[in-house]
Structure 1
């Protein structure tokens, strides 16, 4: 019996030695074994909807808005000279054309004005029309002159729908708008509706 006990004891020792040599886990906890703690680092990234706004570096210049258009009513002032004394000026304000009210117009009867553009703009965008107060049978001649040359001319009467215009003014030094009527009464007007020059 003692031989069997010695044999079992020897086999157990050899198995323990083999298990320890190959790094296999032992079935019996050793009193001298130190507990092993595994450290796991988790980085939490918030979903896109919870992230704050992206910021730009402090040295990034902010974009500067550029003036790419100018209103002939407010931004670009008309020229004045002694020769203008013979011409009536336009009045800025609201006017009704064909039952529609336009809040931003230059209107007048037998009026003409010139603006200096200094070759800064490419297009004149506007509309033209005749006030509803103009007597029937009378017409207004609208003229656009670029550097003294007539480039557009239209005749309209009361009740006509406002006509949109787009005039190429690339390289223009000056532009002149005129509204000449076939009568001298002041109860009717030709109107330049929201005249604007764009780059």
Structure 2
């Protein structure tokens, strides 16, 4: 799978370096998440989900500030207020989860096309989500060490693979078959792409990983 430990380590180092030079509040928050690897933004979203007691997929400022602190992000209160105002586009005193993640994830240009190709290859049924059944014959579980030593079944390997992409809000695996949407897939790979120096290398990596 594209998004190896090596790429994550490179991402963390590059994010730490850029964090020392960046003054833009949104970019600083993005970089602090990326110092935790490609799943950092997803992890922050999961922290916010825990705080969303009424399940309305939005947060007020006190919840936002608490979420940043709970996740261990070093953001001064005045900087947090600036961030909150940036994400609170309609000025109603709350921020929407989905808009927050879309704004926070690193921008992608041409690599977006190859990520979409990978998604559509995995989505064999063409129903707009990737499930365990879609992965059969596309993702080879038999090379996974836990499958080889008998600890996991093929389905367990598939479910763990899909969990990398799963939404921080609705953990599908807790309630039924895992489903990964295109948006969740894009969120994950926007993080991975942040560790890659050039668009060309990212595209080559994705094509090799998914045999596109």
Q: Name the TM tier (shorter chain).
A: under 0.3
What is the TM-score of this pair, normalised by structure 1? 0.21
Q: Relative contact order (C-alpha < 8 Å, sep 6+): which is higher?
A: 2
Point out the structure with max Rg over C-alpha.
1
Bigger share in strand: 1
> What TM-score do the two structures reach when normalised by structure 2?
0.20
Query: Which protein is richer in helix relative to its size?
Result: 2
